[in-house]
Structures are given as structure tokens and as C-alpha cells.
Structure 1
Amino acid sequence: MRRQYLKIKGEHPDAILLFRMGDFYETFDDDAVLAAKELEITLTSRSMGKGLRVPLAGVPANSLDTYLARLIKKGHKVAICEQTSDPATSKGLVDREVVRVVTPGTVIESALLDQKTNNYLAAVSVGSVAEGRVGLAYVDITTGEFLATELALHELPLELERIEAAEVLVPESDDPPPWAGHGNNGAGPNYELTPVEPRIFHPDEARQALLSHYGILTLESFGCEGKDLAVAAAGAIVEYLARTQKAAKLKLANLSIYATGSFMALDSQTRRNLELFAAGRNESKELSLLAALDRTKTPMGGRLLRQWLGQPLLDLTELEQRLDAVDHFYLDGLKRTAAISSLGKVADLERIAGRIVSGTVAPRELIALKDGLAAAPGLRELLDGPNLEWLQGQLLPLSDVCSLIEESIAPDPVGAVGDGNVIRPGFSTEMDELKNASSNARQFIAGLEQRERERTSIKGLKVGYNQVFGYYIEVTKSNIDKVPEDYIRRQTLTNAERYIIPELKEYESLVLNAR
């Protein structure tokens, strides 16, 4: 196991490696010393043979989110190494591999996120000094939102302040980027700066990364023509996500190219004076303008309101569209009350969709998705005012998705996939058979044991199970002469022999698959 650990750790030298061992994630060596300090957990040691003892510190697997949040908030990168083979069927060392590398900009766990704030991973690609231009791209992998732009170098700190990125990727260099030394008001930036190899910012490589991710032949539909710096930044993000998310499948929205001139730029001093997001010397969020205005009923609405406050529109047509929608509900109290009631039943559909794609969704969230989508037709009917066709058209009913969830997911599923009671009985014949096999294992074993005792006249015959050899029929050596020809020897003990028969082998496969 030590060799396996060192190999995996060598692939992630800059991350704290959480190494799955049964019901715990363990850390070793320097990682253990650091984890014990940062998480305030016990530092102990473990024997690795030949007189070698190494530092060890672990956390329960069912409390991962709690400890992960603390490490990420302190600026650490964390590699999560899972057991990828079943210990019950593995002969020898359990297979393990890193399935995700969690960084400030790649967090997907609900417990680590602010519901009403986006969590952006950004990348900056700098052009020549003479041009004085940079490319900026940013993504929220929990919602799929993916944008890119090109702007003047001196505008970059202001734009990074506006999007409030959690992490910014830059080409690796001996010197930190000059623009990263301070914010627009001279204060230090709030984001984590992550140097990566310059190669992934090369326009050709970045373009190919985007083409491969979207499965397309050209970026023409994204409006990227002549924007090599924006493409370089966006491609670097896609490449970085492929490395850090590994087993997770990410579905990003189509890359959207935007211009900073389409909205009013507010520097940090202006934001502070207007108390948009924090107020007073203590920077209280509760006393800010956002807190005073925010009566949104969904996390998605909260994030959108925050964006709107931070980037006021300059385009008159867009402003008129927005005001038409406000007027519609302001002037009709009944519709406003109905909309508030309907939206109160809608969960964070954006982030639930993201967790479905990444394979981390909880069963209860699927029910929340169904309930949220079910509210769409009613909300659509409330948008019957003039000039609201554009908004009405965005509320698609998706009744087929609702029906599929209703038919397939149990009405009150448990906390995690694999714990049982997730798939609705009757939806899948195969699943029902597997459930029955797993829940009726004790009865099957007792019945088989009794039947084989009667068939062989061996009163001491017993059916058992261990993790190495699986299910077996055990016969003492004094009764070996009574063993039928269809018994296949599986293991020899001092005083007994263990056998398998085709029926038991088939049942073993069924039960293990059910687990």
C-alpha cells in the first residue's frame, strides 16, 4: 500500500492527498502533519513495515464536506483518492485513483458554496506589451456559466473585482503578474492565484481543448473570430478542469463572448461608497444595498440580482425589457403573490443540473428538480403581459423530465445513491430482482444450507462468506467422502474443505452487483 500511496502522491505533489481507506480518508507524511494542524485533528503514526513509521491523520468519509471546506478556505488544494475496486471482491490491494482535485474555483459541494453567490474560476492570457491587451475567461462549474472577453490590461483588475473570482489561472513564471499585486483600490485581491504551465494558454492548444470539449469542428458560432487571447484563456480553463475534475463529466454552457462596454464599470471604491455588497467599517453584508433589496425566492434569483447590481446595464433596449417585467408584477398584486408562491417551491435548478452531470447529485435533489420544473407552466401563464414574450419563451415545461423522475425515483429517497430506496419499485425489473436478492440473502443461505444438508446427509455442512473467497460451502474433512461430484473445491483449511456450486456462484454475483 505504501508504494501505491507514494505513486499517487507523486502525481499530485502540490495537493493534500486524501487517501480513502474504508470509512476514512487518511493523510500521510507531511500531508498528515499539515492536515492535523489545519483541521485540528489528532496526529498519530502508522507502521509501514521494516521498522518504518510515518505520520498519519484521518477524517471520517461521511464528514468529508466539513473538513474539505476548512482546507479550501485556507487556500489548500485537495486531491481526493477513492477506492475504485470493491474490497469485498478485490484479491490483494484495493485499486485506488484520484477522482477529483478540489481547488477554490472548482468546488461543487453545496456545503462549501454560498447559495446566492457564484463561484468563479478565471483565467488570464496576456498579449504583447505593445498591444496592452489581455484575454479573460471565467466559469462557474456549478451552473455551467462560461464567459470570455478581451480588454485593456489596465481594465483587468477592475473586471476581476467585478466577477469576484475565487481562483485565477495564469501562465507559470518566475515573477507574479504585475496586475495581480493589488486590487483597483490598492488592496490585495481576494482570489487564489494558480500558476499553470504556459503551454495550455497557447492559442492553438486552447482552441483544440475547446473544440474537443464541445465536440465541434469550429468555434465560429461562439463569436471568437479574431479573439485569440479570449480563446487562450477559455481553453486554459477547459484544460485545467479536465485535469482537476478527472472522473467528473462537466457540461459547460456554450462559451459566451461579452464586451465590458455593455455595462457600467464600478470600481471597488465606488462599490464601497454605494455599499452595494457590504456596509460600514465592519463591511456588514446585512446592512448592504443587496441585503435591503434581496427578496428573491430562489438561489438562482439571488445570484442574478447580485450580478445586476454589480454591472448596471447601459443598453436602453435591455433596460426597457427588464422594466417591462418589473412593471408587469408591480402593477398586478395577484400575479405577484402567485409568482412569489410558485418560486418559493423552486430549488437551485442550475446547481442541481450541474451535480447531475458531474455524478454527485443526491436522490432528494432529483425530487427537488422535478418539483421546481413542475412550477414552470404556472409561472409561464403569469407572464401574459405585453412585451414579455422573450421572458415567457425561456420557461419551458420539460414535462418529459418531470415524468421520468416521477416514474423512476422513490418519493422519499435516502441521502445517497447506493444506500437503497432510490429507484421506485416497478420501474426496473432488473433492479427489483437485485433488491430482492440483497434483502433476501439470509433466507437464501439458510434454505440452501438446509437443502444441501439433506442432499448430502452431511449434518455439519454450512454455507458462509468471506471477503477473499466470497460465498462457500464448508465440509469437515471427516465428511469429505460424502461430497457430491458437482462441488468445486475453493479453499483448503486444516480441518475442512470449502466448495462452490454453480447456483451459489450465480447468487454471489447477483448479491455483489446488488450492493
Structure 2
Amino acid sequence: MAARRGLVTTPIRRQYLEIKRRFPQAIVFFRLGDFYETFDEDAKLVARELEITLTSKPMGKDLRVPLAGVPHHALQAHLKRLVGRGYKVAVCEQMEDPRKAKGLVAREVVRVVTPGTVVEEELLSAAANNYLAAVCPGPGGSGLAYVDITTGEFAATELSDADLALEIGRLGPAEVLLPEGSQPPASVQAPLTRLDAYAFNPEEAGRRLREHFRVASLEGYGLRGKPLAASAAGAVLAYLADNQRAALANVKDLSVYDASRFMVLDASARRHLEVFATAREGSRKGSLLETLDMTRTAMGARLLGRWLGQPLLDARAINERLDRVQRFFEDALGRGETRDRLREMPDVERIVGRIVAGVALPRDLAALRRALAAYPGVIAAAGGDFEVPAASRSAGEALALLEAAIADDPAPVLGEGGVIKAGFSPELDEARVLTGDARRALAEMEAEERDR
């Protein structure tokens, strides 16, 4: 909402309008003290969707604007409702202490939360992937790329328009990116986000992919002769750079696949076979997935869902998978021990995603410490010829650091103390002593004054 010409507005109003100008497609949650405030049309929408009071605020001479706000400690709950309904939210924080600011408090949008870019645990289903997909239409087919920034999974393919609709149905993306002016794929139910066609430009997309993966050529990723797939993958990276830049560090690889290697299950087949939900109630309970799902971790539950939605056709790949099943079937003792060990394993994929995105809480670090401690036991129990990731060699160093630095039972949130172990940081230990001395001195003074 632009300011009317000649209207005298407050500095904070001008600051808000400048931020809103940069994020016109998002609801701006503007931090004011202990509240996130929304203004103008955003306020009307937020009041309606969250069922909260719509008020107004003076923002200049003879100017009152609609206002709706939520407490800062309730941000996640309100984000969940808005993002779940397909809205995008730009979270604008105070970048300095208002008590120490000289003049207007500096504010910046620190993240844009969209259905396909959420990383917060409260906004996600533990047992399902949260995909952001991009579609690049072309003559005779389309390029499709998708990413789950909470796990780092990133894949791309090229396929016919008919197969595109089926693949979109299989993925069930939370958000779909499209070039401005293009038609969406058939039967897409996810929120659509239109991007400037330049984001899908083949040269620009190729450059962005090479820069991100730090390679001179994309042939090693299987993108040779697949310009539409590359364009869709580049558009995904462009969108993340604008809305969740920190999450790019969790996207370390790109898998280019051929959809013809897998059995196609259209929506009707999935429904009648009750793969993910029962045909009558549409409930997970009683479905094939619910019947088979005896996984012990959220990571395993998501993998099982992907396998059921994308059945293999290649006999060699099928037999390799069956060989693993047979080994555990015949080794009841090893199977039981592996399952017991896996109970101790938290959702490492998403913990790492939150750490990379800069939204991890102390409990995430404690959970990662627990996972690293349990990892050798899981590998030993599983036995066999399982390939141990090369990165696991540094797990011992990370575990040692977490054990030395993070309290055994850390505080649930930052800012309340109780996160860093005593003895890890001499400077912090000294600050704690000084703080404790000051509190004791104040308590003694209060007691003396009370006794007078």
C-alpha cells in the first residue's frame, strides 16, 4: 500500500512501506517490541485467517491504518496456520536493542516463510517430505525439479505433460514454482508461485547451478541434453536464494532421474490400492503405508513413503533391495538389536537442516549429540556390507565438541541461560560469576531495606 502523495507519515510507517515494497507477495510480520504487527490489507487478511481482533494505529497526521498483531512468543503457531493455508510470510525483526537505538530501530526481513521453504519442526509432518517443486514448460514436455530443504534432497527430470501430472501427484509438493504467464500442470493442488521467466532462463539456470555446486560442467550430474530439467533446477535455487538463502548450504547434490525407471501410479491407482490412505475415509490408518510402517525413525518413515510412491521396475535394483530384506529376515537377533538402536536416533536430517538455516534450538544440538553417540552402535548392529558415509569420520570430533559445550539438559530456548556447560568458555564462566554476584548483592540490599 503506497503512501498517498503529500501525506505526512511517521518514520516507522515509511520504514514499513519500504519493507513491504520489497516483499509485495508476502504478509509482512513487522516486529514492534513484544509483538509482530501487520498493517493495511495484510492486517485485514491476518485478522480474518487467525480470527484475531482488527484494530487501527495512528501512523501520521490524520492517518490511521488497519492493524492486527500477534505476540512474538506465539509466532510459530500463527505461521503454521498461515503457511498451511498457502500464504507467504516475511518475518521482519528488530536488528538492534530498542533501548540502545539512536532514533528509528533498524529492521530487516530475516526470512520469508513459504509452504515449500519451512524448516521449523512445528510446521512440518515428521513422516512426510516437504517438497518445493519447479516446472519449466517446453515444446513437447516439461522440466521438473524438486527439493526438500529440511533434508537436502534435490532432484530433477524431464518428462511428458501427461507424466508430469502423475509425478506432481506422487510428490504432493507444498509449493510449485512456475514461469510468469505459463499454465499450471493439470490437477495441481499446491499453492502456485509465479517467478519472472528469467529465473528459468537456461543460461542463467546453468550458471547458478555451476556456481552452487562449484563445478565447471553439469555433465557429471546427468543434465546433458536436459535443458528443461536444468532450467527448473536453477529456478529452485534462485527462489531459495531470495527466500531461504541459508538453506542452500544443505543442498549438496542433485539427482537427475528417469521417471520411466519406476512404476507409474496415478491418483486413481493410489486411491483404489489404498497406498497412502483408505479409499472410503481417506485416512492413513488402514492404508498400505500404515500397515507396513514399522520404522523406528522419522527418516525411515519418509523413505518408506518414497519407496511406496515410486515402485522400482529394474530387476537388479529390486533384487538388491530384497537381498537387504532377506538378510535382516534371517538374522532375528541382528534385526532386533538394530531396531532397538534406531529407537535412540532422532531426526538427524531435519536437525541438520535447522542448524544450517540458523533456526536450531538448544534441544536440537542435544539431540544431534545423542544421535552421534548412538551412530556407531547402529552401524555395528546392522553389520553386513553397508557403506559407511565418508563424512561420518568426523562425527567423533563433532560429538566431542557437543559433549564439551552443550549442557546435559539445555534450556528449551536461547536467551535464558543454561545452554553452555560450565568450563567450556572462561569468558562465559566469568560473566556468570559476575551476574551471580550482582544478583546476590541486589538481594542483600533488598533484604536490608526491608528490615529498616
**Residues 7-406 of structure 1 correspond to what in structure 2 (within 5 A)?**
7-128=18-139, 132-173=140-181, 176-177=183-184, 180=185, 182-183=186-187, 189-246=188-245, 250-385=249-384, 389-391=385-387, 396=392, 398-406=395-403
Residue 318 of structure 1: how far off its partner (Å): 1.9
TM-score normalised per structure 2: 0.91
- Within 1, Cα distance between the matches of 2:85 and 2:104? 33
The amino acid that maps onto 1:176 is Q
Pair 230,21 (structure 1): closer, same or farther in 2 beyond 3 Å: same
Asked whether the equivalents of residues 128 and 305 of structure 2 are also in contact (C-alpha less than 8 Å), the reply is yes
- Within 2, Cα distance between the matches of 1:39 and 1:446? 43
Residue 442 of structure 1: how far off its partner (Å): 5.0
Residue 436 of structure 1: how far off its partner (Å): 3.5
The amino acid that maps onto 2:198 is R
Residue 78 of structure 1: how far off its partner (Å): 0.9
- Segment of structure 1 superposing worse, 107-116 or 424-433: 424-433
Residue aligned with 1:264, SS: coil
The amino acid that maps onto 2:341 is S
Residue 433 of structure 1: how far off its partner (Å): 2.9
Residue 432 of structure 1: how far off its partner (Å): 2.3
Question: Once the two structures are superposed, what CA deviation does each residue of 1:18-65 show, in whole Å capped at 9, x if it has no partner?
Answer: 001121111111111110010001111112232321111111111111
Question: Once the two structures are superposed, what CA deviation does each residue of 1:447-487 show, in whole Å capped at 9, x if it has no partner?
Answer: 9xxxxxxxxxxxxxxxxxxxxxxxxxxxxxxxxxxxxxxxx
Pair 219,431 (structure 1): closer, same or farther in 2 beyond 3 Å: farther
TM-score normalised per structure 1: 0.80
The runs of at least 4 aligned residues of structure 1 exceeding 6 Å deviation read 443-447
Which stretches in structure 1 are left out of the alignment for 5+ residues? 184-188, 448-515
Asked whether the equivalents of residues 158 and 268 of structure 1 are also in contact (C-alpha less than 8 Å), the reply is yes
- Within 2, Cα distance between the matches of 1:205 and 1:273? 43
The amino acid that maps onto 2:183 is P
Residue 143 of structure 1: how far off its partner (Å): 0.6
Which stretches in structure 2 are left out of the alignment for 5+ residues? 1-11, 445-452
Residue aligned with 2:31, SS: strand
Residue aligned with 1:375, SS: helix
Residue 352 of structure 1: how far off its partner (Å): 0.2
Partner of 1:411: 408
Residue 443 of structure 1: how far off its partner (Å): 6.4
Q: Between Structure 1 and Structure 2, how many residues are aligned?
A: 432
The amino acid that maps onto 1:218 is S
Question: Which structure has the greater CA radius of gyration?
Answer: 1
Residue 395 of structure 1: how far off its partner (Å): 9.4
The amino acid that maps onto 1:379 is V
Asked whether the equivalents of residues 43 and 54 of structure 2 are also in contact (C-alpha less than 8 Å), the reply is yes
- Segment of structure 1 superposing worse, 432-441 or 146-155: 432-441
Partner of 1:433: 430
* Percent identity for Structure 1 against Structure 2: 51
Question: Once the two structures are superposed, what CA deviation does each residue of 1:305-361 show, in whole Å capped at 9, x if it has no partner?
Answer: 000111111122222221122112212222121111111111100000011111111
